[in-house]
Amino acid sequence: MQVPRHTAGSYAWIIHSYYRHPHNLGTIASAGERICDIKRMFNVKCIITRRDDTLPYRIMHKRLRGETLGNFISPEDLSVMLNEYYAARVWDENGVPRDETLEGHGLFCEKD
């Protein structure tokens, strides 16, 4: 039995067929970004902070195997990776989605 090969375009077609509403890769990507931002805002309200954005102990403290033999991810490396990730998501340096990010998805942010 051969497993059908799905691409992002085929998922757009499936969603379009199901909902009978025009969807394309852009609308699907935007929905994914919106979901990620909403999830992060929920976590922020639950007092999840940058300190909680970490990797498993074994990756941070034990030497890795395979092509990365002898290496591990230091706290400094993780900090650089988090900065890059937050910038790519258009979040601030603490991992909180910026107002313009939320507004771009049609969401709003209540100020505490």
**Per-residue pLDDT tens over the stretch 4-40:** 566 666 777 777 777 777 777 788 788 889 999 999 9
**Beta strands, E only, the chain:** none
| Class of residue 40 by CB neighbours under 10 A (exposed 0-12, middle 13-18, buried 19+) | buried
The token pair at 103 is 């507004």
Q: What is the pLDDT of residue 108?
A: 72
Residues in CB range of 96: below 8 A, 6 or more apart: 40, 41, 44
**Per-residue pLDDT tens over the stretch 38-90:** 999 999 999 999 999 999 988 888 776 777 666 788 899 999 999 999 999 99
Give the helix/strand (H/E) hosting 87.
helix 75-89
